[in-house]
Amino acid sequence: MALEILRNIHLAPLTTMRVGGDTQYFARVQSIEELKEALLFSQNQGIPFFILGGGSNVVVSDAGYAGLVIKNEIKGISCADDVVTAGAGEVWDEVVREASLRNLWGIENLSLVPGTVGGAAVQNIGAYGVEACDTILSVEVFDVDTMSVKNFLGEECLFGYRESIFKKNKNFIVTHVSFLLSQEKKVRIDYEDVKNFFEERAKNKMREDRLDDEPSLQEIREAIVAIRTAKMPVYPMGTAGSFFKNPVVSAERYEILKKTYPEIKAYIQADTTVKLAAAWLFDKVGGWRGIRRGDAGVHEKQALILVNYGSASAQEIFLLAEEMKRGIKAKTNVDIEEEVVVIK
Ligand code: EPU
């Protein structure tokens, strides 16, 4: 059966931010064959394409998209020993759940990150001290230039902070991702919020007999779910998660900033550069946390998260974001970039 291509589809409901206009054409693809068909359509029409996953890290412009939006719905999760392979259209947290049920360690800290498996690889999602690239064994893509399937080993994916070869080259469309997990216990609970959670729990429960015990995989997954639920907005409130990336500055620049802002939150990286907590800057330096301009606002518990409280336009969100960036630049001379991808 020929692939169904729809016209003039409203994109806002297909994203978690819930703003923006229509796409000229829209198709859902459930296999590589259907993906190929959709791509041929865009080539024949001479229009661009955009691959949409869970829509949790994108903001659609009010003007919408003059091209074909392809919603990747290639599904399936399979496990062989410690390798889990999933279709790019699979919901990310379903993969984490499946791995947890099988007691496979490695991605439990990424519990409840919204979006799909494809998005997880393209964006190299990260949370609580873990990044997707830590366990990605290989990525299967459909290469638009050669119109054929191609495989990348983890180290060939050029993963960085919210970066990958697939983010740079839009002609590599992720179709499947394989994760190498561990049957052996690998506990990572050093990240501030996670450490605090387990310390609190130990105190409250007075479980002295278990204080030295490390938590189980299920307990860590439950902890992450509890931390995220307490700190992050609950859909259907419109949001795209962290709207900005944490900026990376030189060690010298960090020392200068620390003189003015002794409390500044930062992580010194292996290459001596320093990643600053943008949420802290927006909150403590900019005073943006919890502010609201009509239906556009900044989350009251996390200053990195912009919120559409109901009927904000994309323009209102972008104006707020620009103002926030300008404010921080003026006070600290630090440039902050968007993490979200804009569909325009
Ligand atoms: N902080 C503030 N004010 C705030 C929020 C945070 O002062 O309003 C402080 C916190 O106390 C903490 C520091 O800033 O010391 C960093 O905050 P947090 O631990 O919440 O992490 P983040 O750097 O803001 C990153 C990721 C999130 C991920 C969390 C948890 C980015 C851009 N964001 O946020 O990822 O869930 O760490 O690991 O790297 C996403 O990418 O969409 C996302 C949500």
pLDDT by residue (tens digit) across 128-151?
999 999 999 999 999 999 999 999
Q: Give the strand pairing for 136-143 and 148-153.
A: antiparallel
Whether residue 326 is predicted with pLDDT greater than 80 in this model: the reply is yes
User: Residue 230: what pLDDT?
Assistant: 87
309/293 Cα distance (integer angstroms): 10
Q: What residues line ligand 1, using a CB cutoff of 6 Å? A: 126-128, 192-193, 241-242, 245-246, 265, 277, 279-280, 283-284, 289, 302-304, 339
What is the separation of C-alpha 81 from the centre of its chain, rounded to a whole number of angstroms? 27
Average pLDDT over residues 251-257: 97
284/247 Cα distance (integer angstroms): 16
Q: What are phi and psi of 148, to 5 degrees?
A: -145, 165
How many whole angstroms from 279 Cα to the centroid of ligand 1? 6
> Which residue, among 155, 126, 157, 125, has the nearest Cα to 141 in the 3D structure?
157
Question: By alpha-carbon position, which residue is closest to atom 29 of ligand 1?
Answer: 127
| Domains of the chain and any CATH numbers | 6-72 (3.30.43.10), 75-231 (3.30.465.10), 238-338 (3.90.78.10)
How many whole angstroms from 305 Cα to the centroid of ligand 1? 9
Which atom of ligand 1 is nearest to 302's Cα?
8
- Collapsing DSSP to helix, strand or coil, 50 comes out as strand
The residue type found at 103 is N
Pick from 88-97, 152-161, 208-217, 307-316: least confident: 208-217
pLDDT by residue (tens digit) across 73-106?
999 999 999 999 999 999 999 999 999 999 999 9
User: Residue 213: what pLDDT?
Assistant: 73
Cis check for the bond before 236: say yes or no (omega within 30 of 0). yes
Whether residue 33 is predicted with pLDDT greater than 90 in this model: the reply is yes
DSSP label of 134:
G
59/341 Cα distance (integer angstroms): 6
Per cent of the chain over pLDDT 70 is 97
211/205 Cα distance (integer angstroms): 10
User: Residue 208: what pLDDT?
Assistant: 53
Per cent of the chain over pLDDT 90 is 92
Q: pLDDT grade, residue 237 (50/70/90)?
A: confident
User: Residue 84: what pLDDT?
Assistant: 98
